Amino acid sequence: MSPAGPAWPRLRVLQALWALLVVLVAPWRLWAIKNTQECTWQVVLNNFETVGKKDASDRFVDQEPLYTVDKVFSLLVDAPIDPDEVRGLVSGKRERSWTCTPLGSGHLPTLSLQTYLGFPYYLKINYSCKGELFNLIPRYFVNVPSRPLWYTVDQTPVFILGGIPEEKAILLTDTNFKDFFLVELSIDSCWVGSFYCPQASFTATIFDAIATESTLFIRQNQLIYYFTGTYTTLHESNRGSERWVRVLANECIKKLCPVHFHSNGSEYVMALTTGKHEGYVHFGTITDGRVSFELLPRQRSVCNGILVVNCSITWAVFIAGDYNLLLLVEIEDPSTRKYFQVVSYDLVSDYLVVLYTIPEFIPDARGLEFLMILGTESYTNFPMVPKGMSYNPYNNLLFIWGNFLLQSYNSENFIYLADFPKELSIKYLVNSFYGDTAIVTETEEIWYLLEGSYQVYKLFPSKGWEVHVSLQVMQQSSLYAPNETMVTLFYEDNKLYQLVYLIDHQQGRLVKRLVPVEQLLMYQQISNDYLLERQGSHLTLSFTNFCPFTVMRLRDLPNPQIYTRQERYRAQPPRVLEPWGFHSDNSLAVYQGLVYYLLWLHSKYDKPYADPVHDPTWRWWKNKKQDQDYYFYLASNWRSAGSVHVDMASYEKIYDLKAENELPERIFLDKGTSYRFSVFLTAREPEPVHAGASFQVQSQVGLAVVLADPGCIEAVVKEKVLVNRNSVLFWVTLSDKRFCFDQGISGHHLMKTSMLVKVVGSSGHCFQNTHQGPRMQGNLMVPVLIGCPPGKRLAFDITYTLEYNRLQNKHYFDCVHVDPEMPCFLFRDVFYPFFLIQDLVTGDSGSFQGSYVLKVVGGGPTLDTVKEYSEEDIYRFNSPLDKTDSLIWTTRNTTTTEDSAFNILSHNSLGIEWLCLENSPCHDTIPHSIFASEFFFKVLVSNRGVDKSTYCDYQLTFLLHIHGLPLSARRAFLILMVSASLFVGLVILYIISCLLSPYVVKACNVLCWKINNIIAWESYTYSTASDTRAFSNTSGTKSGESSGGISRVVSKVAEENKTDTKETLRKKSIS
């Protein structure tokens, strides 16, 4: 089971010395990181108040108040992080909703990836508790048959399990049954039984339940339901039930068939019909939460297609790689008995063909372990009753099961496995898809098959099981009880687990326990193959070991990350600066927040412009690296704020993980790449060295490499016999043949195949004791995925582009307003772009040496006005065949695509010349200031169809800032005329002002004199009037005389002043 969300897989922690290892995956999800270290950090989901408490794991809906988080991080004033960015993470509520766990009015736990919502939560689990939670009463489980657990492998966030007798309830878990909930479903339970729906009775039991990443499917009677809502609507009690939708309402559905793997960006489910549409399959496709069904075959029923009158489809298997359906069809022939056929239906061509007709009776193997069905063998009187099929897409192994077991690698030639008794009937198969298959019979027996071998082993009940249970009871294990009922059987991390209902001391409980397959096989081997020999007076017990080797080691293993494509980070906890040295609630919350911040840096790193340092953690410390010694000084003196010290060097991405003497969990192969390792085997019985000893050692141990698709991959095995050590060293090289896959996006639409490394005669006989218990040896299956590996991307190498352009153009002019994240390029300069192929897993970053096509797909004069161009516009703006004067750019390279529509560039091209012709969008761009015009081009770079060196379809879209764009000739001429007119006008105005300046000055002087004279006259008049009034007041008797005298004096003075003024003006005019 996987967490919700393709962005980040399940968190596992390993790394001694207090190191936290965070495992992340790219567009294609990767899982199952093995814990090999004994010292680990426990990663759980906690509410803020329960951080640090033992066994605390909260489920909640409410968001943690931001002030509680800010209160903790506000203390880290001297930590090597940016508080503003951390605060931005807290406030940014970006949530990805998953429409995946539908339940109407029942208690519903829902799992969603809340990106930075409710910080410091990492993975947020929401619970919607509406309705009644059922108690686990014995009636629901005791003596109830087990049922299969169906889900989309590596995708499903929850498991669901039906089969609760006479109850509309399912068992639901989001922790692989570490805990679980029995939930009532709010569905209408209408029954469509009628003359075309042959069903005799009604029951509330839910028979089939399938969990996918984005929704759930259940079948009750002949009805199918799936959930259509989101997590938001699940929390609303008045709308939760409405979101359960009955699909195919007018159809009679007898069975749901799962599709275990997603492909082509979708998940699938199949519904088998009965009644009026007998012989058809409803093929369901789930894409982004939307469910659609198509009735197949499209033209006619399967019965008509294989030319029979009556038939019924018993089981269906979807092979995504071939887009093909395999149908197990039961045919009723009036003249003969019932018989079964395997029919292939091609979804593309709508073509039906019969691949194989299953024998009516079980073959007589005559003591053999297996029998090749050729048609010439003898048969018993036991009829073959097929019930279902199982398909492994990695090794193309198809099982047909019932009261027998047939296997085939090509769906046409089958092998009968005689070890499975014909008296039993298989109820369902459980496939690990890594080479192990468990079988559950109708009588609840458990059998085991190692794929690639032909021996079927009985695990329960068996002598080995009795020994194991006895030992567990002696150890007082709580996982075993005298009265128990198996609920289901499933694989988790390549280990087989049981979900069992135990009744102990009249108390019932559900437990999940490991099925020790290796120990059971060892017990059986010891109990069956022993010998008592008399030596003297006593008996000696000896055991026969059928393993052909004593030592098996894997050597010369390359670093696994380049093949497993798992991105890893090391994040050590902060140092607690307290006398007792224990972590507090604050320090644990800080640690969780720092890991959160690290994940944010990881997601932010995927951008078109490559950083100078190929490491997401570079931005963590790039602005505070120079202060590292200061932070260390504070920590050394116990003066760090908040009593917590964060070492900036303790957070890094791991690129050099070493192999641990075992093959990787899976291998990704790009075009022409290979994986090489060696196997060292020591034979069990050493022989004395003499002539022919090399042959004897070689004959005792043999290594076989089995390929699921030899037409696509090849294996070369070389051996070296070490006679003196009684050993053989094998070198194995697995390579891609370069022609089985087209180009694809990184991590998408990969071809599934596998490699099986098998030591001859070792299946079920060879075991290695480890600290985790015995482990099977000699049979190693590794899934191989062919295509573009996850975590590889194309990035714009802005650093080298700037350096090379400066060298070639002899200068470089950036924009006036410099943006370090997006430097500018001058329009008139030749533009030489360079790109990097960055491997986010291994840290490799090198120049892209392949060919590519560059197109301008959008643009605008400002960032806010950038718009996308249509396909027609993209052709006109970029194609050298354009005749409409719309080209934006051109190049002197002559290489074009096959249709000559676009130019093909490479790292040593002659550069790009900007044109911006008359009908292009960048033509005649008006500047918004006194500086030259600018334009933002949205550029698409793709190597699809032009680069034959890789399976990767690299596509990069980025903005390119160009400045200094020229104006059009018309607008330039207009601006020139306006500028010239203004200039001429200014010159004329200057000349006129020079000629008229003396007269203007003279007029100004006269004007000033007159103004001054008027002011003086007014002032003198006012002063004289004041003196006259004063004299009149002091000498009233002589007022008349005095007044007349003064008037004559004033008049005389005025006349004299006037005469002087005229004289002065006359002299000036003469001069």
**DSSP for 782-810, written as a single string:** EEEEESSPTTEEEEE-HHHHHHHHHHHHS
pLDDT tens for 378-430 read: 999 999 999 999 999 999 999 999 999 999 999 999 999 999 999 999 999 99
Whether the Cβ atoms of residue 874 and residue 855 lie closer than 8 Å to each other: yes
Q: Specify the pTM.
A: 0.80
The pLDDT of residue 1048 is above 60: no
* 3-state SS, residue 225: strand
* 3-state SS, residue 1037: coil
What's the CA gap between 913 and 891, in Å, rounded? 6
Give the closest residue to 154 by CA, choosing from 173, 176, 172, 171.
Answer: 176
What's the CA gap between 654 and 656, in Å, rounded? 6
pLDDT tens for 729-744 read: 999 999 999 988 889 9
- Dmax over CA atoms of the chain, in Å, equals 182
Q: In which element (H, E) is residue 918 found?
A: none
Q: What is the mean pLDDT of the chain?
A: 80
Give the closest residue to 324 by CA, choosing from 411, 405, 227.
Answer: 411
Q: How confident is the model at residue 192 (pLDDT cuts 50, 70, 90)?
A: low
The pLDDT of residue 961 is above 50: yes
Which segments of 515-597 are extended strands (E)?
A: 530-535, 538-543, 549-555, 567-571, 575-576
Percent of the chain scoring above 70 in pLDDT: 79
Whether the Cβ atoms of residue 887 and residue 874 lie closer than 8 Å to each other: no
Q: Which residue has the higher pLDDT, 635 or 490?
A: 490
Average pLDDT over residues 208-236: 76
Average pLDDT over residues 681-704: 69
Which of 236-250, 789-803, 958-972 is the least confident region?
236-250
pLDDT tens for 760-818 read: 989 888 999 888 889 999 999 999 999 999 999 999 999 999 999 999 999 998 888 88
| pLDDT at 686 (0 to 100) | 52
pLDDT tens for 532-564 read: 777 778 888 877 888 999 999 999 999 999 999
| pLDDT at 73 (0 to 100) | 60
Distant-in-sequence, close-in-space partners of 1009: CB < 8 Å, separation ≥ 6? none
| pLDDT at 848 (0 to 100) | 94
Q: Which residue has the higher pLDDT, 23 or 587?
A: 587
Give the closest residue to 861 by CA, choosing from 957, 963, 762.
Answer: 963
| pLDDT at 335 (0 to 100) | 75
| pLDDT at 460 (0 to 100) | 94
DSSP 280: -
Whether the Cβ atoms of residue 735 and residue 673 lie closer than 8 Å to each other: yes
Which of 239-248, 450-459, 637-646 is the least confident region?
239-248
Which of 191-195, 821-825, 904-908 is the least confident region?
191-195
Percent of the chain scoring above 90 in pLDDT: 47
Q: Is the peptide bond before 297 cis (omega within 30 degrees of 0)?
A: yes
Whether the Cβ atoms of residue 759 and residue 766 lie closer than 8 Å to each other: yes
The pLDDT of residue 87 is above 80: no
Q: How confident is the model at residue 116 (pLDDT cuts 50, 70, 90)?
A: very low
* 3-state SS, residue 1000: helix
pLDDT tens for 27-59 read: 333 222 233 333 334 444 455 555 545 454 444
The pLDDT of residue 61 is above 70: no
The pLDDT of residue 912 is above 80: yes
The pLDDT of residue 6 is above 60: no
Buried b (16+ CB within 10 A) or exposed e, 256-284: bbbbbbbbeebbbbbbbbbbebbbbbbbb
Q: How confident is the model at residue 1022 (pLDDT cuts 50, 70, 90)?
A: low
